[in-house]
Amino acid sequence: MNRLARMAVARRNPGRWHWTDIAAYAYLALGVVLMFGPVLWLGLSSFKTQAGLLEFPPSLLPMSQKEVRIEGQAQPLPLFEVTMEDGSKRVLAQVRRVGIQAQMVDPANPGQIIRVPIDKRTPVREFKLATENYTEPLERFAFMRFLWNSVFVTVVATLITLVINSMAAYALSIYEFRGKTAVMLMVIGTLMIPITIILVPVYLVITELGLVNSLWAVILPGAATPTGVFLLRQYMLTLPRDLIEAARMDKASEWQIYWRIVMPLAMPALAVLAIFSIMWRWNEFLWPLAVLTKTEAYTLQIGLNAFQGELQTQWHYLLAMTVVTLLPVALVFVFLQRFITTGIANTGMK
């Protein structure tokens, strides 16, 4: 125990403890609670029953009242621990409540009704995961549809982004041609134009193309990302030129050089762009909100937002669906945390 305690407080450089070290660990501990707490609470709450969610103060774990099936009763009956008049305690099932009296039965002897004042009973609770929060929305709402829409948008948009951005980056890093500076300036210029300021005209373009309420309306506008072109070009500039010259000598066509030589070599940068694109697309909100008005076309984010308007009182479904929306990102984070953080540290994009 002593060793464990020493291990826990040991620092990399042994020496005197400065008060800032203690403050630092206190800050980090608070950070863990504050950052993880809300998501953990979301996860725990999503497994509570509708009745469990209405409890105040809320219980930490998903607890619900134990129920028992008794012959002759249509519904399962809730179990209570009852303090009898003589002071003994019995576990009884409640048939119905009349005013301040509860009619209860002993599960072992269902024929005999016992009348008990309601303040003499306390519910018997057990740990139970309300998995129906997860399964019911799948049947009752278009949740699967939203999930599919989101997956489709994310995968297709990322593919398009990777192809057209790497093509542009290839042209801008390997060739010298007239107008190159102008194109570079345009790319840099568009870095600064977010969708928020061209919402209305992009909507017009999409309408002219007849794409309103189709998933392509979500996919296309963000496909050519200047950030992506920039990142890939920067990486391709570091590739050895001799390799490309040698391939030209061997009569490889420009297209073959692009996808057989440059693309595989640029894989690290492509992977970073792919990860970012997946995150952007999965989480995108404002533009899909503006352009998708039919429920069938909703992505997960828009669907979830619509639910929170409609299901004000049905938090048990809402929380479970929020967890499902969060899961893919959580998985990506667990496996690829390092690449995302180095990617951000190197490029400053998000």
Partner 1 sequence: MASDAPIPAAQLERAGAASLFAAPLAALMRLIDWPMQVLQRLIGERRMAYVFLLPNLVFFSLFVFLPLIINFVFSVTGGAGLFPSERPYVGAQQYAYLFDCGSFLDPSSCREDHFWRGVSNTVRFTVFQVTAMVLFSLLTAVVLNMKIRARGFFRAVYFFPVLLSPVVVALTWKWILQRDGLLNAAITSLGGERILFLVDPSWAMFWIVFVSIWAHMGFYTLILLAGLQAIPADLYEAAEMDATPRWRVFWRITLPLLWPNMIVVIVLALIRGVQTFDEVFVLTGGGPGTATLMVVHYIYETAFANQVQNFGLAAAASVVLGVVLFALTLAQLAASRRKGAA
Of 249-288, binders to partner 1 (CB under 8 A) are 253-256, 258-259, 263, 267-272, 274-275, 278-279, 282-283, 285-286
Q: Would you state the structure tokens that stand for residue 147, as one six-digit string?
A: 């999930």
**Minimal distance, residue 247 CB to partner 1, in Å:** 12
Q: Does 28 bind partner 1 (CB under 8 A)?
A: yes
Cα 74 from Cα 233, distance rounded (Å)? 69
Rule CB under 8 A: choose which of 203, 214, 216, 314 binds partner 1: 203
Indicate whether 22 belongs to the interface with partner 1 (CB under 8 A).
no
Question: Is residue 181 close enough to count as binding partner 1 by CB under 8 A?
Answer: no
- Reading the block at residue 242, the tokens are 């001799």
Measured between alpha carbons, how far is residue 163 from residues 21, 166, 168, 223, 262 in Å? 49, 5, 9, 10, 12
Which one of 22, 24, 98, 144 is in contact with partner 1 (CB under 8 A)? Answer: 24
Stretch that binds partner 1, among 72-80, 124-132, 140-148, 216-224 (CB under 8 A): 216-224
H helix or E strand, kind and range, residue 104: strand 101-106
Strands (E), the chain: 63-65, 67-68, 77-83, 89-98, 101-106, 109-117, 121-123, 125-127
Q: Is 146 in the site for partner 1 (CB under 8 A)?
A: no
Does residue 190 belong to the site contacting partner 1 (CB under 8 A)? yes
> Cα–Cα distance between 50 and 17 in angstroms, integer?
50
Establish if 294 lies at the interface with partner 1 (CB under 8 A). no
Member of 101, 207, 245, 313 binding partner 1 (CB under 8 A): 207
Letter for the amino acid at 13?
N
As a whole number of angstroms, the distance between CA 156 and CA 146 comes to 15
Residue 305 Cβ vs partner 1, minimum distance, rounded to whole Å: 5
> Which range binds partner 1 by CB under 8 A, 63-71, 105-113, 114-122, 159-167?
159-167
Q: Rule CB under 8 A: is residue 127 a binding residue for partner 1?
A: no
Distance CA 206, CA 213 (A): 10
Helix (H, G, I), strand (E, B) or coil at 186: helix
Q: Provide the minimum distance between the beta carbon of 80 and partner 1 in the complex, in angstroms, as a whole number.
A: 23
Q: Which residues pair with 80 in a beta bridge?
A: 92, 123
Per the listing, tokens 């997960």 go with: 300
Each residue 60-79 as x (binds partner 1 by CB under 8 A) or -, in order, gives --------------------
